[in-house]
Amino acid sequence: MSVSTNDLKNGMALDLPEGLMTVVEFQHVKPGKGGAFVRTKLKNFRTGAVLDKTFRADEKVPLAVIDKREMQFLYREGDDYVFMDNETYEQLHVARASVGDAVNYLKEGDTAVLPVYKGEVIGVDLPAAVELTVTETEPGIQGDRVSGARKPATLETGLVVQVPLFVDTGDRIKVDTRTGEYLSRA
């Protein structure tokens, strides 16, 4: 299945020789002389690397149909992460490499959307923010109220984030999954 470069949209997935790519942005250009072309910024689904690529106008490119399935994270087994499909209840073993940075934000019982291409999980789509419990952090010193001061805190997934001094062990906090930064107390 292919699509014309004139019909590209943001978020569309393409199966190019460079790998499985998603369209981040595109621009149709019509110079004074010569043929029109489409300038794109593509992101590699597996590596996250960004690539600038130019296509001729109305060039056919292979479209990748990605099935997004909602799954629940059950547990870790060796290097695999075991998910259960919320519709079929089928269990799926996903390699650590396919899960990527999402391991820092997933805890047992969480639901995530897994994009699947040709039977292979190619990542994990997380919500913009998740709530996690602080498992370890130094206590804030009384009277130490420096504005904007931060200290490291280890979360239940093993992720370490910088938090304000008033956050204590056992607190639930909201963390931005795109930047890995503390947002607020939950």
* Sequence ranges of the domains in the chain: 2-62, 67-121, 129-185
Q: Span 2-62: which CATH code?
A: 2.30.30.30
59 to 2, 3, 4, 19, 142: CA distances (angstroms): 10, 8, 6, 18, 66
67-121 under CATH 2.40.50.140, yes or no:
yes
48 contacts: CB under 8 Å, gap ≥ 6: 100
Whose structure tokens read 């998910």? Answer: 83
pLDDT of residue 141: 66
| CB-count exposure of residue 94 (10 Å: 0-12, 13-18, 19+) | buried
pLDDT of residue 154: 94
Distance between CA atoms of residues 77 and 175, nearest Å: 25
Distance between CA atoms of residues 58 and 53, nearest Å: 15
Rounded to two decimals, the pTM is 0.71
Common-topology check for domains 2-62 and 129-185: no
pLDDT over 70 percentage in the chain? 96
pLDDT of residue 143: 59
Q: Span 129-185: which CATH code?
A: 2.40.50.140
Q: Are 68 and 78 in contact (CB under 8 A)?
A: no
